[in-house]
């Protein structure tokens, strides 16, 4: 994945061809690591579940998501280079972005080198025969339910993805890259804090309650923010939303690993991840269509409403199907 991202970064540095840039962007997005919707997480999440005791898994997933969050904060901070270089140099926008793509490529080279140095003991025993263990009937039902629910959540999330938030802030309030960078740095910091607090909150009110309440609160706030006409109020509300938004990530990962047998954890992680990724793949296109007709604010409200509906459905299943796991 990192080698693919490295090649994509080099393409973005040197090409001016629209289609080559599009191909490079697609490969870069497909090679992303360190997120809860990435392909590699389907392997890493079950591994953590097997290595960590059940009572400590929420804490483990909190750390697992927190460390990449720190890296994202640093990466977002690099965007501050754009207005700084524009003000102190005569560089054109193309040259500035080439500098950013160079930094991106070098980071991927470092990451690939780190993977090469990993101990071979993390690999599975080569002497063991690889086989797929069919999920039991109960596990199959749970995997289907979880995948369907997470797909609904992810579909709604595509309407309020950070790219759409950027578009909304720029279109509605004419904010520049410098202000956007500061907003998103603060958002990442709040995301990190929520990841740290998630295990403690889950221990107090329960894993499922944390998942449900955090999403209801976060998405209710984004609905209010979308109706705001002042960029400061809108930005503050967005940041409050981000403080709640990631509370459900480590709790969700710990929850879905706890409700299926160990031999089916990889299936649960990969299939649910596929459902979330699939739904998130085409939802931005739908969001763009909705925005073109009704406006970006309505699109944000629509997406947030879907995520609230997901939380309500999850609440219903909590009392019927998942009660014994809370």
**Domain shared by 96 and 170, yes or no:** no
CB burial readout 24-42, b (16+ within 10 A) else e: beebbeebebbebbbbebb
Quote the CA–CA distance of 283 and 225 in Å, as a whole number: 21
- Residue 42 within any structural domain of the chain: no
Predicted local confidence at residue 53, as pLDDT: 85
Is residue 321's pLDDT more than 60?
Answer: no
Q: For the segment 82-102, what is each residue's pLDDT rounded down to a tens digit?
A: 778 888 888 887 888 888 888
Instruction: Determine contact, residues 187/243, Cβ cutoff 8 Å.
Output: no
Q: What's the pLDDT score for residue 248?
A: 92
Kindly tell me if the per-residue pLDDT of 20 is higher than 90: no
Cβ partners under 8 Å of residue 174, min gap 6: none
Q: Which residue stretches of the chain are H helix?
A: 2-14, 18-30, 41-51, 57-77, 81-88, 93-116, 137-159, 162-173, 177-205, 207-226, 231-245, 248-258, 265-294, 296-320
Quote the number of domains for the chain. Answer: 2
Position 39 in a domain? no
Segment 48-72 shows an average pLDDT of 86
Say if residues 145 and 321 touch (Cβ distance below 8 Å). Answer: yes
310 alpha-carbon distance from chain centroid: 17
Is residue 41 one of the residues assigned to a domain? no
Domain membership flag for residue 150: yes
Question: What span, in angstroms and rounded, lies between the C-alpha atoms of 146 and 268?
Answer: 8
CB 173 within 8 Å of CB 221: no
Which string of b and e fits 271-290 if b means at least 16 CB within 10 Å?
A: bbbbbbbebbeebbeebbeb
Q: What does the mean pLDDT of the chain come to?
A: 84
83 within a domain of the structure (yes/no): no
pLDDT band at 326 (very low <50, low <70, confident <90, very high): very low
User: With pLDDT > 70 as the criterion, what percentage of the chain qualifies?
Assistant: 88
Name the band, by pLDDT with cuts 50, 70 and 90, for residue 34. Answer: low
**Does residue 134 fall inside a structural domain?**
no
The reply to whether 169 and 289 lie within a common domain is: yes
For residue 303, the model assigns a pLDDT of 94
Mean pLDDT of 124-153: 70
Decide: 8 and 25 in contact? Cβ < 8 Å. yes
- What are the two backbone dihedrals, phi and then psi, of residue 228, each rounded to the nearest 5 degrees? -75, 150
Residues 204 and 145 in one domain: yes
Cβ-contact 269, 257 below 8 angstroms: yes
3-state secondary structure of 252: helix
DSSP conformation class of 325 = G
Q: What is the pLDDT of residue 121?
A: 56
Q: Let me know: does 135 contact 143? Beta carbons within 8 Å.
A: yes
Give 137's pLDDT tier (boundaries 50, 70, 90): low
Q: Are residues 236 and 108 in the same domain?
A: no
- CA distances (Å), origin 314, targets 132, 161, 201, 284: 29, 21, 18, 23
Do 104 and 212 lie in a common domain? no
Task: Check if the beta carbon of residue 109 is closer than 8 Å to that of residue 3.
Answer: no
Clarify whether residues 155 and 214 are in a common domain.
yes
How high is the pLDDT of residue 213? 94
pLDDT of amino acid 127 = 46
Tell whether 107 and 63 lie within a shared domain: no
54 with 155, same domain?
yes
Better-scored residue on pLDDT, 110 or 226: 226
Where residue 262 sits, what CATH number does that domain have? 1.20.1250.20
Quick check: is 13 in a domain?
A: yes
Higher pLDDT, 178 or 225: 225
Q: How confident is the model at residue 131, as a pLDDT?
A: 44
User: What pLDDT sits at residue 128?
Assistant: 43
Position 183 scores a pLDDT of 93
Q: Which domain holds residue 18?
A: 1-32+90-128
For residues 2 and 109, state if they share a domain: yes
User: Quick check: pTM over 0.85?
Assistant: no
């Amino acid at each position: 994945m990192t080698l693919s991202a490295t090649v994509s970064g080099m393409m973005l540095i040197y090409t001016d061809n629209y289609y080559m840039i599009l191909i490079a962007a697609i490969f870069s997005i497909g090679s992303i690591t360190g997120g809860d919707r990435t392909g590699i997480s389907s392997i890493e999440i079950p591994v953590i579940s097997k290595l960590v005791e059940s009572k400590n898994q929420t804490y483990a997933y909190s750390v697992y998501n927190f460390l990449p969050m720190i890296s994202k904060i640093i990466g977002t901070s690099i965007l501050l280079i754009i207005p700084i270089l524009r003000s102190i140099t005569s560089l054109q926008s193309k040259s500035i972005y080439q500098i950013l793509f160079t930094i991106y490529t070098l980071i991927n080279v470092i990451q690939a080198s780190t993977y090469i140095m990993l101990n071979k003991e993390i690999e599975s025993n080569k002497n063991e025969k690889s086989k797929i263990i069919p999920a039991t009937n109960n596990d199959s039902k749970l995997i289907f339910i979880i995948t369907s629910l997470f797909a609904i959540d992810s579909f709604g999330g595509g309407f309020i993805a950070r790219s759409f938030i950027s578009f909304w802030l720029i279109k509605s309030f004419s904010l520049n890259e410098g202000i956007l960078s500061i907003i998103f740095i603060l958002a990442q910091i709040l995301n990190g804090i929520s990841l740290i607090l998630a295990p403690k909150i889950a221990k107090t009110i329960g894993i499922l309650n944390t998942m449900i309440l955090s999403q209801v609160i976060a998405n209710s706030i984004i609905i209010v923010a979308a109706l705001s006409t002042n960029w400061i109020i809108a930005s503050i509300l967005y940041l409050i939303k981000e403080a709640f938004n990631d509370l459900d990530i480590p709790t969700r990962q710990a929850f879905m690993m706890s409700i299926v047998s160990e031999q089916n954890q990889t299936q649960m992680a990969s299939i649910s991840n596929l459902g979330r990724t699939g739904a998130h793949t085409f939802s931005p296109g739908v969001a763009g269509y909705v925005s073109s007709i009704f406006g970006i604010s309505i699109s944000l409200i629509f997406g947030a409403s879907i995520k609230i509906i997901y939380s309500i459905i999850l609440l219903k299943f909590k009392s019927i199907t998942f009660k014994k796991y809370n």
